[in-house]
Structure 1
Amino acid sequence: MAESDPTPILQDPSDGASKRGAKRDSLFLLTTLSDETGNPLGKARVRNLSETGLMADCEASFRDGDRVVVQLRGIGDVSGRVSWVRGDRIGMAFDARIDPQAARKPVSQPQGEGLPLYLRQLPRVAKFSR
């Protein structure tokens, strides 16, 4: 870990939010995990997210130190390592800082795409005078 990173890596997640330097946002985000070669490892439910890591409930089992890549909406692939495991819940420390607010932004679609036709905005039509 770089000396400029003020966030300590905790060995036991129960000993505390007060020891962490990075602010965490609680959220519920479905995602997928893979290994560094792209092989899928299963789905996960991200429970909280910060600049330096996340906590998630996972389908697959992991061990401390496992290298994983998580696909985060609005951010993309983020690599890191499993820093702790408690049952089906893991803590993951990212290799590089992210902007956690980007994962909260709605996924943008072209205007009206995905809406039923009756809810889409009609295009403007030029008016002709007689």
Structure 2
Amino acid sequence: MDESFTVQNRRQRRSQVFMAAALELSGGSHAVKLRNLSADGALVEGSHLPVEGSEVVFRRQELNVPAKVVWVRGERAGLAFKEQLPPEAVLRHIPTPRPRVLPEYRRPGLHARLTDAERQAAEEWAWRPSFDRPGE
């Protein structure tokens, strides 16, 4: 089951993201991908994740938060932060959505008048008599 989209019994709403982060454990640092983030915890993805119950430090830019690995399934793990993050710290790491641009489809209009020669050429091209009419 994909834990990133399950609401479960969470106190805080999680924001879906896809950013680089790191987990520090026993003096070593492991690169992970941050999949979602809230004031209480995060979902990370990566290889060689620490086991459940491990104490880690979650790092993302200037954010350094002590956390505990709550669960691990495959290459994903859920983290519970030791202290709740302030809302401004969470929002700083969530990109603002880009405004949606809707294409405007319009038929191009004629902006110039045709000269007499252009009009005559268009009429000859469009009104060329057919020699393959049945009955002739």
Q: Give the TM-score normalised by the residue count of structure 2.
A: 0.59
**Equivalence for 2:44:** 56
The code of the aligned residue for 1:77 comes to N
Q: CA RMSD in A?
A: 2.5
**Contact preservation (8 Å) 2:20, 2:32:** yes
Unaligned runs of 5+ in 1: 1-12, 107-130
2:93 aligned partner:
103
Q: 1:29 aligns with which of 19, 27, 37?
A: 19
Contact persistence 2:21–2:33 (CA under 8 A): yes
Say whether 1:19 aligns with 2:4.
no
**How far apart, in 1, do the equivalents of 2:50 and 2:33 lie?**
15
Q: Percent identity?
A: 25
| Structure 2, unpaired ranges of 5+ | 97-136
Q: Quick check: 1:32–1:40 contact (8 Å CA) kept in 2?
A: no
TM-score by length of 1: 0.62
What's the offset of the Cα at 1:18?
4.0
Q: Aligned pair 1:67/2:55, yes or no? A: yes
Following superposition, the deviation at residue 15 of structure 1 comes to: 9.9
Task: Please state whether the residue corresponding to 2:22 is helix, strand or coil.
Answer: strand
Give runs of ≥4 in structure 1 deviating > 6 Å: none
SS in structure 1 at match of 2:53: coil
Using the TM superposition, give the Cα deviation of residue 14 of structure 1 relative to its aligned residue in structure 2, in angstroms. Answer: 8.2
Q: What code does the residue aligned with 2:13 have?
A: K
Please state if 1:79 is matched with 2:79. no
Q: Are 2:56 and 2:68, in contact at CA under 8 Å, matched by a contact in 1?
A: yes
Change (3 A) 1:15 1:70: closer
Distance 1:15 1:72 in 2: 22
- Whole-angstrom CA distance in 2 between matches of 1:19 and 1:81: 18
1:42 deviation in Å? 1.1
Q: Structure 2: which amino acid aligns with 1:47?
A: R
CA positional deviation for 1:103: 1.4
